Amino acid sequence: MFLTAKYLEGCSDKTIRYYRCNIEKMLDTINIPVIKITTEMLRKYLVEYQAINNCGKVTIDNIRRSLSTFFSWLEEEDYIIKSPMKRIASDVEII
């Protein structure tokens, strides 16, 4: 439903594929229902992603932003009470 909403908002196919890829990787890795995902789990995911993939701050920040968009949408649509991404700062280097 998130991806459909983004499509209706006018996001490009490339952007929607990027959202899908990042969200699916995160959900597959954390592997618990989205309503139970915590800030700490997401921080750990980003740290491990950066270490495993040897990627830089810009890449991690792009992933963080796409996940933040996803969780903000879940909050706005009342699927979750509060986005766990709100406490993950955009200007803080993960590693």
> Domain with 38 in it: what CATH number?
1.10.150.130
| Structural domain range at position 12 | 2-87
Question: What pLDDT was estimated at residue 89?
Answer: 72
Position 84 confidence tier, pLDDT thresholds 50, 70, 90: very high
Tell me whether residue 94 is in a domain.
no
Instruction: Count how many domains the chain has.
Output: 1
Tell me whether residue 93 is in a domain.
no
Tell me whether residue 95 is in a domain.
no
Position 90 confidence tier, pLDDT thresholds 50, 70, 90: low
Question: What pLDDT was estimated at residue 95?
Answer: 46
Q: Residue 92: is its pLDDT beyond 70? A: no
Q: What is the DSSP-derived secondary structure letter of residue 60?
A: H
Tell me whether residue 73 is in a domain.
yes
Q: What is the pLDDT of residues 19-72, one digit of tens each?
A: 999 999 999 999 999 999 999 999 999 999 999 999 999 999 999 999 999 999
In this structure, the number of other CB atoms found within 10 A of the CB of residue 39 comes to 15
Tell me whether residue 92 is in a domain.
no
Contact 67, 94 (CB under 8 A): no
Tell me whether residue 34 is in a domain.
yes
Cα 60 to Cα 36, 69, 70: the distances in Å are: 22, 14, 15
